[in-house]
């Protein structure tokens, strides 16, 4: 699966259904740029997960509504609802993997 670039106009449609991992990033954020290739590997490893990149510098109001306070921030959403978040200015790939594994394991089962 590929990583999808979101805009403020397409964001709601992209996160509206299913499991979505949102990578809020900016070109000026060195850890964000360093994590970018890892987001692609997460998309490949988790075909049931839609991976979306949101450029914070192009969607400031959206980031404020998401209460993004720093970068990088990664959100896990299910059907548009936030289920988990990680934000750390020194975030590295191993931390993302551990956080994601824990977040996915703790997700409540969807009711039929």
Instruction: Give 26: exposed, middle or buried? Use CB within 10 Å, 0-12, 13-18, 19+.
Output: middle
Displacement of CA 16 from its chain's centroid (Å):
14
pLDDT at 2: 86
pLDDT at 111: 64
For residues 51 and 3, the answer to whether their CB atoms sit within 8 Å is: yes
Residues with pLDDT less than 70, the chain: 111-112
- In the chain, what are the domains? 3-102 (3.40.30.10)
Mean predicted lDDT score pLDDT of the chain = 95
Sole residue written with tokens 């997700």 = 107
Going from the C-alpha of 44 to that of each of 3, 7, 9, 79, 84, the distances in angstroms are 9, 22, 25, 21, 20
Sole residue written with tokens 């921030």 = 73
Angle at 3 between CA 32 and CA 15, to 5 degrees: 95
């Amino acid at each position: 699966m590929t990583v999808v670039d979101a805009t403020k106009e397409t964001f709601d449609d992209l996160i509206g259904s299913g499991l979505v991992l949102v990578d809020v990033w900016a070109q000026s954020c060195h850890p964000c740029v360093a994590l970018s290739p890892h987001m692609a590997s997460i998309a490949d490893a988790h075909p049931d997960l839609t991976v979306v990149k949101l450029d914070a510098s192009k969607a400031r109001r959206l980031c404020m509504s998401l209460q993004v306070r720093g970068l990088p921030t990664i959100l896990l959403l299910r059907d548009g609802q936030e289920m988990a978040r990680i934000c750390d200015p020194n975030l590295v790939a191993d931390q993302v993997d551990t956080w994601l594994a824990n977040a996915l394991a703790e997700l409540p089962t969807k009711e039929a």
